[in-house]
Structure 1
Amino acid sequence: MRPLTVFAMDLHQHPEPSGEESRTASRFADALAEAGYAVTRGVGGHGVVGVLTNGEGPRVYLRAELDALPIRERTGLPYAAQGPFMHACGHDLHLAALLGAATLLARSLPHWRGTVVIVGQPAEETLTGARAMLEDGLYARFGRPDAVLAQHTAPLLGGMVAHGYGQPVLAGSLGLDVTLHGRGGHAGAPHLTVDPVLAAAAVVLRLQGIVSRESAPAEQTTVTVGQIHAGTHNGVVPDSASLGITVRALSDESLDRVVTAVERVVRAESTASGCPRDPEITVVSRSPATLPDGEVTAVVREAHRQVLGAERVVPWAPSMATEDFGLYGDAGQEIHGCAGVPLGYWMVGIVGPRQWSATAGANAAERLAALPPNHSPEFAPHLPIALPSATKAMTSAALTLLSR
Structure 2
Amino acid sequence: MKIYLSFILTLAITFSLSAQDLDRSIEQFYPHLDKLYKELHQNPELSLQEKETSEKMAAELRALGYEVTENIGGYGVVGMFKNGPGPVLLIRTDMDALPMEEKTGLPYASTKKGTSNDGKETFITHSCGHDIHMSVFVGTAKMMMDYKNSWRGTVLMVAQPAEENGLGAFNMMNDGLYEKFPHPDYAIALHDDPFLPAGTLGYKAGPLMAGVDMMNVKIFGEGGHGAAPHTTIDPIVLSAQIIQAYQTIVSRTLTPTDPAVVTVGSIHGGSVHNIIPDEVMMQLTIRTYSLDVREKIISRIKEISENYSRAAGLGEDKMPEYWIREPFTKPLINDAALTDQMVNVFQQTFGEDKVVEVAAQMVGEDFSAYGNQERKIPISMFFLGANDPEFLEEAKANNIDIPGLHSPYFAPLPEPTIKTGVKAMTSFAMDIFKNQEVMINRGN
Give your verdict on TM over 0.5: yes
The answer to whether 1:281 aligns with 2:322 is yes
For the pair 1:359 / 2:390, whether they are aligned, the reply is no
The answer as to 2:259 corresponding to 1:220 is yes
Look up the SS of the partner of 1:291 in the other structure.
strand
Partner residue, 1:123: 162
Among 145, 149, 161, which residue is 2:188 paired with?
149
Of 232-241 and 301-310, the range deviating more from structure 2:
232-241
Q: Does 1:371 align with 2:402?
A: yes
Code of the residue aligned with 2:318 in structure 1: it is R
Give me the whole-angstrom Cα distance separating, in 1, the residues matched to 2:235 and 2:403.
35
Aligned CA distance change for structure 1 residues 230 and 314 (closer, same or farther; 3 Å): same
The match for 2:103 is: 74
2:116 is aligned to none
The 3-state SS of whatever aligns with 1:391 is helix
Match of 2:198 among 140, 146, 158: 158
Q: What SS is found at the alignment partner of 2:325? A: strand
Whether 2:399 is the aligned partner of 1:399: answer no
CA distance in 2 between partners of 1:160 and 1:226 (Å) = 34
Deviation string for 1:127-169 (max 9, x for gaps)? 121111111111111111110001112221111111113x301
Paired with 1:299 and 1:191, the residues of 2 have a C-alpha distance of 66
- Which residue of structure 1 aligns with residue 32 of structure 2? 3
| Conserved? CA contact 1:348–1:386, under 8 Å | yes
Moved more, 181-190 or 212-221: 181-190
Note the aligned Cα RMSD (angstroms). Answer: 2.0
1:97 lines up with 2:136 in the alignment: yes
The Cα of 1:301 is off from its aligned counterpart by: 1.3
Closer/same/farther in 2, CA of residues 238 and 85 from structure 1, 3 Å limit: farther
Give the conservation status (yes or no) of the 8 Å contact 1:111–1:403: no
Deviations 1:300-341 (A, max 9, x none): 111111222221111122211211111211xx33xxx323x1
Q: 1:13 to 1:243 in 2, by over 3 A?
A: farther
Residues 266 and 378 (structure 1), Cα distance of their counterparts in 2 relative to 1, 3 Å cut: farther
User: Residue 43 of structure 1 corresponds to which residue in structure 2?
Assistant: 72
Alignment check: 8 A CA contact 1:352 1:385 kept: no
2:346 aligned with 1:307: no
Q: Which of 12, 16, 23 in structure 1 is aligned with 2:52?
A: 23
**1:118 CA drift (Å):** 0.8
String of CA shifts for 1:211-258, please: whole Å, max 9, x gaps. Answer: 222223322111111222233333433333222211112222222212
State the AA in 2 paired with 1:393.
A
Separation in structure 1 between the aligned mates of residue 233 and residue 183 of structure 2, nearest angstrom: 55
1:148-297 alignment, distance < 5 Å: 148-154=187-193, 155-165=195-205, 167-275=206-314, 277-285=318-326, 286-297=328-339
1:29–1:228 distance in 2 versus 1, CA, 3 Å: farther
In structure 1, how many angstroms separate the alpha carbons of the residues matched to 2:246 and 2:351? 45
Residue 316 (structure 1) aligned with residue 328 (structure 2): no
Q: In terms of mean alpha carbon deviation, does 172-181 or 235-244 score higher?
A: 235-244
1:63–1:236 CA distance, 2 compared to 1 (3 A): same
How far 1:114 sits from its partner (Å)? 1.0
Of 218-227 and 60-69, the range deviating more from structure 2 = 218-227
Change (3 A) 1:260 1:124: same
Match of 1:381 among 412, 426, 435: 412
Deviation at 1:292, TM superposition (A): 1.4
**Is residue 173–residue 255 contact of structure 1 (8 Å, CA) maintained in 2?**
no
1:350 maps to 2:381: no
Judged with a 3 Å threshold, the aligned counterparts in structure 2 of structure 1 residues 73 and 273 are, in CA distance, closer, same or farther, namely farther
More displaced stretch, 305-314 vs 78-87: 78-87
Contiguous gaps of at least 5 residues in structure 2: 1-29, 114-122, 436-444
Q: Distance in 1 between matches of 2:44 and 2:359?
A: 30
Please report how far the alpha carbon of residue 199 of structure 1 lies from its aligned counterpart in structure 2 after TM superposition. Answer: 2.6
Quick one: distance in 1 between partners of 2:406 and 2:343? 27
Aligned amino acid, residue 383 of structure 1: P
Distance 1:355 1:143, change over 3 A: same
Bigger shift: residues 131-140 or 63-72: 63-72
Match for residue 298 of structure 1? 340
Q: Which whole-Å deviations, capped at 9, do the CAs of 1:83-112 have from their partners, x for residues lacking one? A: 422222221111111111011111111111
Deviation track 1:168-205 (CA, whole Å, cap 9, x = no partner) reads 01112222122223344443343444433223222222
| TM-score normalised by structure 2 residue count | 0.83
Q: What is the CA–CA distance in structure 2 between the aligned matches of 1:301 and 1:35, rounded to whole Å?
A: 29
Shift of 1:274: 4.2
Counterpart position of 1:114: 153
> Structure 1 pair 80/145, CA: closer, same or farther in 2 (3 Å)?
same
The Cα of 1:380 is off from its aligned counterpart by 1.6
Structure 1 unaligned spans of 5+: none
Flag the 1:6–1:268 CA change in 2: closer, same or farther, 3 A. farther
Change (3 A) 1:361 1:243: farther
Question: What residue identity is the alignment partner of 2:425?
Answer: M
1-side partners of 2:212 and 2:258: how far apart?
A: 15
- Kept in 2, the 8 Å contact 1:161–1:348? The answer is yes
Kindly provide the amino acid, as one letter, of the partner of residue 279 in structure 1.
P
1:14 aligned partner = 43
Q: Does 2:92 correspond to 1:63?
A: yes
The whole-number CA distance in structure 2 between the counterparts of 1:11 and 1:191 is 58
Query: Percent identity among equivalent residues?
Result: 35
Paired residue type of 1:312: K
SS at 2:207 equivalent: coil
